[in-house]
Chain A
Amino acid sequence: EVQLVESGGGLVQPGRSLKLSCVASGFTFSNYGMNWIRQAPGKGLEWVAYISSGSSYIYYAETVKGRFTISRDNAKNTLYLQMTSLRSEDTALYYCARAYGATLDYWGQGVMVTVSS
């Protein structure tokens, strides 16, 4: 069974940093691209970032480019999202999702990030 479990969320002050993790199990992690998607309270879903299976290709939404860094450790079956210079508008539930082609076929349950002073 494919499982994705996010962690690392919490309350952080504006301008500070936070690193999210997503541990994968039930499939060969190193064979799949991975994504981060977020949903702000009361808002729709927004794609955040993508990383290919071997980390050769990385893409970001314009809203986070230059502030967020996606990475992965295939030996640890773990996806990361390093978030810096956090803003109130980054407050959201963050999901990791596996890429099957360009389809997001399995998602985690999400981890909440709240940016507030």
Chain B
Amino acid sequence: DIQMTQSPSFLSASVGDRVTINCKASQNINKYLDWYQQKLGEAPKLLIYNTNSLHTGIPSRFSGSGSGTDFTLTISSLQPEDVATYFCLQHNSGYTFGAGTKLELK
């Protein structure tokens, strides 16, 4: 089974900061990595699919990069509404989720 290691688990940043969250797969997952945002009490929301494709309606400050085993979600300029938990999901072989990154404002 493919394992996903997400880092950091917790992140504190200021409005306007550039924020990066990482996911590392235990084996090659090609481009099949998605990123989600989940706010308290809400359904998870797809941000980025297949490494770097922006989902419909998602602001362009969100972007994804990577390939093979190492992937990154970047928020170019953090906004107050971005406070949430972010998690990755690999779907190259079955489905495996990252453990999540809780993002708060400094």
Contacts and interface: CB of A to CB of B under 8 A. Distances in A.
Interface string A61-104: 00000000000000000000000000000000001010010111
B64 interface: no
A11 interface: no
The DSSP consensus for interface residues of chain B is: loop
The DSSP consensus for interface residues of chain A is: strand
A107 B47 CA distance: 12
A108 interface: yes
24 contacts: A37-B95, A44-B87, A44-B99, A44-B100, A45-B87, A45-B89, A47-B96, A95-B44, A97-B44, A102-B91, A103-B49, A103-B50, A103-B91, A104-B44, A104-B46, A104-B91, A105-B46, A105-B49, A105-B55, A106-B46, A107-B44, A107-B45, A108-B43, A109-B41
Interface of A: 4, 35, 37, 44-47, 95, 97, 100, 102-110
Interface of B: 32, 34, 41-46, 49-50, 55, 87, 89, 91, 94-100
